[in-house]
Amino acid sequence: MIKPLNILLADDDLEDQFFFEKALTYLPIVTNLTTFRNGVELMKYLITNSNDTSRYDILFLDLSMPYKTGFECLIEIKENVKLQDLQVVMFTSSFTKGIDFEEHLISTLVRIGATSFIRKSDSFEQLKNTIEMTLNRLIDQKYGVTTK
């Protein structure tokens, strides 16, 4: 039996948080979502709960947030022995600096320890599908169950 997935979402954009949460309600996957509006809130939560990492399965982390960026959070997470196994999916808007810049950024994030990279979409259907594919991969890894 698959337990509900405990998902963390750190994103300063309340509209993006709303659509992420709404997308989860359409998925055939039972989830619990905890949200944070910035990297400082996220890291405080993670450090406080670092002795019980079973509380969460995956983190969707916005790259551009105030106070502490997703990039800074990713580095802190992967440097912390108690947190370094947390799957982190970087979640961000598209870049205007070009495909070469974006490819370099993605490879840097993965090298640091990000599980994957998702570009935010204006399409609700695409957002829902991307989240579902990501969570299905997690379920397959965690439980050895192929969901699709």
Q: Give 80-102 pLDDT, tens digit per residue.
A: 999 988 999 998 775 556 667 66
Report if residue 101 sits inside a domain.
yes
Please give the residue range of the domain that contains residue 56.
1-12+27-63+80-132
Task: Provide the domain count of the chain.
Answer: 1
pTM comes to: 0.88
Report if residue 142 sits inside a domain.
no
Report if residue 109 sits inside a domain.
yes
CATH number, residue 38: 3.40.50.2300
User: Smallest Cα–Cα separation from 29: which of 107, 129, 110?
Assistant: 129
pLDDT, one tens digit per residue, over 106-120 is: 777 777 778 888 888
Report if residue 123 sits inside a domain.
yes
Residues 137, 74, 99: CA angle, nearest 5 degrees? 75
